[in-house]
Amino acid sequence: MREHFFQKIDDIKHDILRMGNMVERIINDSVNALKNQDVEASKRIYIDDDKIDTMEHEIENKCVSLLALQQPLAKDLRVITTALRIIIDLERMGDHAVNIAKTTIEIGNEPFIKPLVDIPKMADITQEMVKLSLDAFVKEDINLAKKVAEMDEEVDKLYELVIKDLLSIIAKDSSSMNQAAKLMFVGRFLERIADHTTNICERIIYMVTGEYEEIN
């Protein structure tokens, strides 16, 4: 019975890694589409997000089934509830990637008011955070979880630079306000993805130790 239970847990972890890989890709694709002003690529983000939503429901059903049939206690229960929380955060990251795609569609072929430098850097860090946080989940590595959460500060600093630069441009040219606001939102979406990753890291620490710890 226990071997069967642990196999089901391993299956869920594997599914979460696959879902996380899709989230990493959708973040990358949405920001690349923005950089290239590729409206058609942005539209494809919606299809990938639907796949992420489907995976969330499938994993949720597996977790609920384990809770109902196995009635796990203590650590095993924390693993399942952590998995349920992780898929919620991953699904919301996908939603933020869709929001970036929407912004790309809205900007269209309008020339950028500034080169995109810090936003792609934010995207690179957030993708790495997603990957490493899920590695920490599978390995139950709280030290790695804490390290990943610390990366959120880098994203926050870059977000501040994005806002500062865009406000400076608006001050010099009020006609740039519409696009500047859209790019600020892109920065915000990426900053929120990093926050969701930090949520995952905090849940991992609780899963392993049984104690809540706010990292940031």
Q: Is residue 215, in this structure, part of any structural domain at all?
A: no
Residue 92 domain boundaries: 2-209
Q: Is residue 31, in this structure, part of any structural domain at all?
A: yes
Give 125-151 pLDDT, tens digit per residue.
999 999 999 999 999 999 999 999 999
CATH of the domain at 100: 1.20.58.220
Give 8-38 pLDDT, tens digit per residue.
999 999 999 999 999 999 999 999 999 999 9
How many domains are contained in the chain? 1
Q: Is residue 214, in this structure, part of any structural domain at all?
A: no
Give 61-72 pLDDT, tens digit per residue.
999 999 888 777
Three-state SS letters, the chain:
CHHHHHHHHHHHHHHHHHHHHHHHHHHHHHHHHHHHCCHHHHHHHHHHHHHHHHHHHHHHHHHHHHHHHHCCCHHHHHHHHHHHHHHHHHHHHHHHHHHHHHHHHHHCCCCCCCCCCHHHHHHHHHHHHHHHHHHHHHHCCHHHHHHHHHCHHHHHHHHHHHHHHHHHHHHHCHHHHHHHHHHHHHHHHHHHHHHHHHHHHHHHHHHHHCCCCCCC
